[in-house]
């Protein structure tokens, strides 16, 4: 802030939670925020309602500091979010829960471990952690599921878990992006109670929240209404209603919409269903059950849905709605019971039935790499729409679901609500007779939801399309002809909405639902829910609260270790990965140890003997008798020679000229021809050497035999001593070279994938919004892989010593120290590769390309690096494998110690910080 800023202005800023000026953000062609000016008051519950969802999530991520500011200024908690130092300082004070069902969670970790990870990241001690976690899990009703893996939770339960994770550290600013989307009414009610309690305990805390429920928004202190990336109106709910002269917030909201959209809005009217029951039910389920292990997800569910009926499925999170729907579509085979669609039993390979059904799954499952148009066209084609009708149908769907302006965008750049609309459009593109929709309107704004329902009602009433839908919106459930209330895998009640309300004697469906649910839960566990006051008392008023101030620093070992712990846990959850990496290393060592031989033996050769004399046969025998060559049938003529060489049948052809014996006796110069297959140059060279040697040997022995004199003996001899490997066996040369190879490739691939995986699956957002620094993040994740690689090293060394009988002649300590440095370098290399790749496929291929070739060819395995040429020589000189190879061979074969090998240690010592810094610099702490 400028020094000459007016004091009053500064004071005003300090009371503000956030201050945005001229903030614009665009993703390629899509404009998300269009020059926003916004002041958010602090210490209250600020809600954002946004019909089309455009800009809301972007706004949140800018305030949370997880996204890079493109233009304009964003000041949060008294400082600019463009300033990395300020971001680092306020980061521990902000908690951000991104939109989407559990995007920032770790699916293989249990519920408890997920929360525990965040607690450790923010530095609570053990007692405090356990107390807080127990409290939060209890309050959100997740306590019974503490040991379940996050990946196996239902959508709503993931939302709750995400909330627990953000509430663990008493933030000053809590940013929740649609936390109640996809959460059942009972849990939603508990959720708001929890927020209220926390706020009561910490009155200074500000909450920035987005919701799709208008009745929730009505309870907020202050509201921001947004549309098309612009702010339409701000103020308290009462102010908004007064300004627009409306009585409900929903109406007020519609009133502030731009005229074009407002005029398009029509209240939904549900005409009564016509006479149904024309014999064959559209969907029939009888005693459907689904068990996963000893967990029963669905327990004897039966229902019957008539053609043209709108049938709703309502229930608590994780009650088995999704599982039931999957059984109906044939995606999951039922453990028990039977399901019939159009009177035919559900069969997994029944393509005809699939064509009559449109299915939309709960999580977004369209192709993120295809544009909206490409997605629609692909599905139209797969559902075999006539080609001439496709363009029209796609246009129609685009209009119906208001996707016209984003047809060329990628789904990832769209707000959740729009993505859901795209999913719906895809499910309906082929005009199915039945729609099975799993929470299709989660995250969709009220206006779009109404227009969507209008479409469905039209379909059901006019085209007699059967609609089977699950939802958490009670006003939607009311529009259904009949609904089933589900809980814990069983159907509690099934009737028309009005009848259900009547039975319970309540006026709203929500109350009816909660009555049923509470009844069911009390039956199940006669445990009284903790009284609100009790929990509120347990909530500390921020006293035990904040983590130590040292947290905001550049480096914290604790944060680093919490990442290490988490990554270690994930690794431990995947024993197959661990086993594969260990067994794989050993197996590869076996293969390479025994498979790579440089001894060239048993080479096939054939002779074209035009002389056919005793002497010529003696010459051939000289070759055939050696262990290097195996004689094949003689060659008939030149053409035969050429043909068999070309085929690769023989590697060597010898041609003995006519009159060989005669000329030799006369002393006329004779030339024996030898053709070597040069296709494989190394082999050819060896053959060359063998032939020359044997030729000379034959001449010498011939001379001895003919003259009988010693004068013809060789004038000198060469005693060749193959040092470090006297028997010239490939194994002792290979084994010390294979260890560096294996310790490079597998650790590098795993560490590269560990980061890119987070990028691809979304949990990278925790790096963006928690105080963890890039160095802590990378090194923390790296440590488990270093440990794993060292385990591999020990096994490989053991195998070399025992199975291959290669004693470590030098110092084992030196070798181990070098191995440690080397695997750190290898995993760091993987992290460097991970920082510039975005998909796991690319990370995998990139690591393979960037490790195999340099490690095998450029690091001196076959030829010393000094003899290499070109780009490869340059890479070879700096590549860590080169230096570890020197150390490995030095200690294994040559019996060298640290003093002899320190020249090789220096580059390894340098490689570690260089690669680590490179990885840190290339990794982004904010999303672009």
Partner 1 sequence: MRPANVLHLGIKELRSLWRDPVMLVLIVYAFSVSIYAAATVMPETLHKAPIAIVDEDRSQLSARIVDALYPPYFMPPVLITQKEMDSRMDAGLDTFALDIPPGFQRDVLAGRTPAIQLNVDATRMSQAFTGSGYLQSIIMGEVSAFLQGYRASSSPRVDLALRARFNPQLNKSWFGGAMELVSHITMLAIVLTGAALIREREHGTVEHLLAMPVTPLEIMVSKVGAMALVVLLASTCSLLIVVQGALGVPIEGSILLFLVGTALHLFATTSLGIFLGTVARSMPQFGILMMLVLMPLQILSGSVTPRESMPRFIQFVMLAAPDTHFVKLAQAILFRGAGFDVVWPQFLALVLIGAALFTLSLARFRTAIGTMA
| Side-chain half-sphere exposure of 122, counting CA atoms within 13 A | 26
> Minimum Å distance from CB 142 to partner 1?
23
The footprint of partner 1 on residues 325-364 (CB under 8 A) is: 326, 329-333, 348-349, 351-352, 354-355, 357, 359, 361, 363-364
End-to-end CA distance of the chain: 24
Between residues 192 and 675, which has the closer beta carbon with respect to partner 1? 675
The footprint of partner 1 on residues 764-793 (CB under 8 A) is: none
The footprint of partner 1 on residues 876-905 (CB under 8 A) is: 876, 886, 889-890, 893-894, 896, 900, 903
Q: Is 35 helix (H, G, I), strand (E, B) or coil?
A: strand
**837 is a contact residue toward partner 1 (CB under 8 A):** yes
Q: Which of 679, 794, 906, 921 binds partner 1 (CB under 8 A)?
A: 679
Among the listed residues 308, 299, 341, the one whose alpha carbon sits nearest the alpha carbon of residue 490: 299
The footprint of partner 1 on residues 686-745 (CB under 8 A) is: 686, 688-689, 691-693, 695-696, 699-700, 702-703, 706-707, 710-726, 728, 732-734, 736-737, 745
DSSP category for residue 348: T
Between residues 159 and 329, which has the closer beta carbon with respect to partner 1? 329
**277 is a contact residue toward partner 1 (CB under 8 A):** no
> Minimum Å distance from CB 685 to partner 1?
5
**200 is a contact residue toward partner 1 (CB under 8 A):** no
Q: Is 650 helix (H, G, I), strand (E, B) or coil?
A: coil
**266 is a contact residue toward partner 1 (CB under 8 A):** no
> Minimum Å distance from CB 446 to partner 1?
27
Give the C-alpha separation, 632 to 649, whole Å.
9
> Minimum Å distance from CB 588 to partner 1?
5
Give the C-alpha separation, 327 to 288, whole Å.
8
Give the C-alpha separation, 579 to 791, whole Å.
11
> Minimum Å distance from CB 678 to partner 1?
3
Q: Which of 743, 749, 831, 911 binds partner 1 (CB under 8 A)?
A: 749
**553 is a contact residue toward partner 1 (CB under 8 A):** no
Is the sign of the CA dihedral 579, 585, 588, 590 positive or negative? negative
Give the C-alpha separation, 147 to 154, whole Å.
14
Between residues 511 and 857, which has the closer beta carbon with respect to partner 1? 857
> Minimum Å distance from CB 655 to partner 1?
9
**386 is a contact residue toward partner 1 (CB under 8 A):** no
Residue located via tokens 């002497």? 615
Say how far residue 655 (Cα) sits from the centre of its chain: 63
Q: Which of 69, 218, 529, 596 binds partner 1 (CB under 8 A)?
A: 596
The footprint of partner 1 on residues 606-665 (CB under 8 A) is: 645-648, 651, 664
**846 is a contact residue toward partner 1 (CB under 8 A):** yes
**429 is a contact residue toward partner 1 (CB under 8 A):** no
**604 is a contact residue toward partner 1 (CB under 8 A):** yes
Give the C-alpha separation, 259 to 531, whole Å.
48
Among the listed residues 154, 169, 13, 28, the one whose alpha carbon sits nearest the alpha carbon of residue 562: 169
> Minimum Å distance from CB 284 to partner 1?
19
> Minimum Å distance from CB 38 to partner 1?
34
> Minimum Å distance from CB 891 to partner 1?
11
The footprint of partner 1 on residues 852-871 (CB under 8 A) is: 852-853, 857-858, 861-864, 866-871
**292 is a contact residue toward partner 1 (CB under 8 A):** no
**420 is a contact residue toward partner 1 (CB under 8 A):** no
**845 is a contact residue toward partner 1 (CB under 8 A):** yes
Measured between alpha carbons, how far is residue 614 from residues 141, 619, 701 in Å?
98, 9, 15
How many residues belong to the site for partner 1 (CB under 8 A)?
Answer: 161
Between residues 494 and 888, which has the closer beta carbon with respect to partner 1? 888
Residues 6+ apart with CB under 8 A from 556: 123, 550, 771, 773, 776
Between residues 141 and 854, which has the closer beta carbon with respect to partner 1? 854
> Minimum Å distance from CB 245 to partner 1?
46
For 489, left (φ over 0), alpha (ψ -120 to 50), or beta? left
Among the listed residues 281, 303, 378, 357, the one whose alpha carbon sits nearest the alpha carbon of residue 347: 357
DSSP category for residue 928: -
Give the C-alpha separation, 182 to 314, whole Å.
11
Question: DSSP E strands: which ranges in 306-439?
Answer: 310-315, 336-341, 344-345, 357-360, 434-438
303, 324 contact by CB (below 8 A): no
């Amino acid at each position: 802030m400028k020094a000459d800023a007016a004091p009053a202005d500064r004071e005003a800023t300090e009371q503000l939670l956030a201050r945005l000026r001229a903030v614009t953000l665009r993703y390629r062609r899509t404009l998300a925020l269009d020059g926003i000016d916004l002041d958010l008051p602090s210490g209250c519950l600020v809600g954002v309602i946004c019909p089309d969802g455009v800009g809301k999530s972007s706004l949140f991520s800018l305030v949370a500091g997880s996204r890079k500011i493109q233009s304009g200024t964003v000041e949060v908690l008294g400082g600019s979010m463009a300033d990395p130092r300020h971001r680092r300082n306020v980061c521990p004070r902000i908690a951000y829960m991104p939109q989407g069902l559990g995007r920032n969670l770790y699916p293989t970790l249990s519920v408890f471990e997920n929360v525990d990870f965040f607690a450790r990241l923010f530095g609570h001690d053990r007692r405090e952690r356990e107390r807080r976690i127990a409290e939060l899990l209890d309050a959100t009703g997740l306590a019974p599921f503490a040991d379940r893996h996050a990946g196996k939770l239902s959508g709503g339960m993931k939302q709750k878990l995400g909330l627990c994770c953000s509430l663990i550290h008493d933030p000053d600013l809590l940013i929740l992006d649609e936390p109640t989307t996809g959460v059942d009414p009972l849990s939603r009610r508990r959720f708001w109670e929890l927020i209220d309690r926390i706020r009561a305990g910490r009155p200074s805390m500000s909450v920035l929240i987005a919701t799709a429920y208008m009745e929730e928004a009505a309870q907020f202190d202050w509201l921001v209404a947004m549309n098309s990336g612009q702010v339409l109106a701000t103020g308290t709910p009462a102010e908004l209603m007064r300004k627009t002269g409306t009585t409900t917030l929903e109406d007020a909201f519609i009133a502030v919409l731009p005229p074009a959209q407002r005029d398009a809005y029509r209240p939904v009217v549900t005409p009564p269903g016509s006479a149904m029951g024309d014999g064959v039910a559209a969907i029939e389920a009888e005693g459907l059950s689904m068990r996963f292990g000893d967990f029963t997800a669905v327990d004897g569910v039966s229902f019957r849905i008539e053609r043209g009926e709108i049938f709703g499925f309502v229930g608590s999170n994780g009650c088995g709605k999704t599982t039931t729907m999957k059984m109906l579509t044939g995606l999951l085979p039922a453990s028990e019971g039977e399901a019939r669609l159009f009177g035919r039993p559900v069969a997994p390979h029944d393509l005809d039935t699939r064509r009559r059904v449109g299915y939309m799954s709960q999580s977004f499952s369209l192709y993120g790499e295809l544009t909206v148009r490409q997605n629609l066209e692909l599905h139209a084609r797969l559902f075999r729409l006539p080609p001439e009708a496709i363009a029209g149908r796609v246009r129609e769907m685009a209009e119906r679901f208001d996707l016209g302006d984003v047809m060329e965008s990628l789904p990832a750049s769209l707000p959740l609500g729009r993505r859901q609309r795209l999913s719906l459009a895809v499910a309906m593109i082929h005009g199915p007779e039945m729609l099975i929709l799993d929470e299709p309107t989660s995250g969709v704004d009220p206006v779009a939801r109404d227009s969507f329902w209008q479409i469905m009602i039209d379909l059901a009433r006019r085209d007699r399309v059967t609609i089977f839908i699950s939802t958490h919106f009670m006003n939607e459930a009311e529009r259904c002809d009949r609904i089933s209330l589900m809980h814990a895998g069983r159907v509690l009640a099934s009737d028309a909405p009005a009848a259900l309300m009547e039975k319970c004697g309540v006026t709203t469906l929500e109350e009816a639902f909660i009555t049923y649910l509470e009844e069911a839960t009390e039956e199940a566990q006669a445990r009284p829910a903790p009284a609100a006051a009790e929990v509120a008392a347990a909530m500390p008023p921020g006293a035990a609260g904040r983590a130590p101030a040292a947290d905001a620093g550049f480096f914290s070992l604790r944060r680093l270790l919490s990442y290490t712990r988490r990554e270690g846990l994930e690794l431990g959850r995947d024993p197959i990965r661990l086993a594969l990496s260990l067994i794989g290393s050993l197996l590869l060592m076996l293969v390479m140890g025994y498979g790579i031989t440089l001894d060239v033996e048993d080479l096939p050769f054939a002779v074209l003997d035009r002389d056919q004399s005793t002497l010529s046969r003696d010459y051939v025998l000289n070759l055939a008798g050696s262990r290097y060559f195996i004689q094949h049938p003689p060659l008939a003529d030149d053409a035969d020679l050429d043909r068999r060489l070309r085929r690769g049948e023989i590697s060597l052809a010898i041609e003995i000229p006519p009159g060989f014996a005669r000329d030799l006796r006369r002393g006329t110069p004779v030339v024996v021809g030898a053709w070597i297959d040069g296709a494989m140059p190394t082999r050819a060279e060896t053959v060359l050497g063998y032939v020359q040697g044997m030729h000379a040997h034959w001449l010498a022995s011939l001379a001895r035999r003919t003259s009988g004199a010693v004068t013809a003996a060789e004038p000198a001899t060469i005693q060749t001593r193959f040092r470090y490997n006297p028997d010239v066996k490939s194994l002792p040369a290979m084994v010390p070279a294979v260890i560096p190879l294996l310790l490079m490739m597998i650790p590098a691939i795993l560490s590269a994938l560990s980061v890119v995986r987070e990028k691809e699956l979304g949990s990278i957002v925790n790096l963006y919004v928690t105080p963890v620094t890039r160095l802590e993040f990378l090194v923390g994740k790296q440590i488990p892989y270093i440990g794993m690689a060292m385990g591999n090293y020990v096994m490989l060394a053991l195998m070399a010593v025992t199975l291959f009988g290669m004693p470590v002649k030098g110092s084992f300590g030196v070798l181990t120290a070098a191995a440690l440095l080397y695997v750190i370098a290898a995993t760091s290399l993987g992290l460097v590769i991970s920082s510039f790749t975005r998909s796991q496929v690319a990370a995998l291929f990139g690591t393979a390309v960037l490790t195999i070739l340099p490690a095998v060819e450029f690091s001196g395995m076959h030829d010393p690096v000094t003899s290499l040429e070109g780009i490869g020589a340059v890479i070879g000189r700096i590549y860590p494998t080169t230096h570890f190879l020197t150390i490995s061979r030095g200690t294994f074969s040559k019996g060298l110690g640290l003093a002899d090998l320190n020249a090789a240690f220096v580059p390894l010592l340098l490689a570690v910080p260089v690669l680590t810094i490179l990885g840190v610099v290339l990794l982004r702490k904010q999303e672009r």
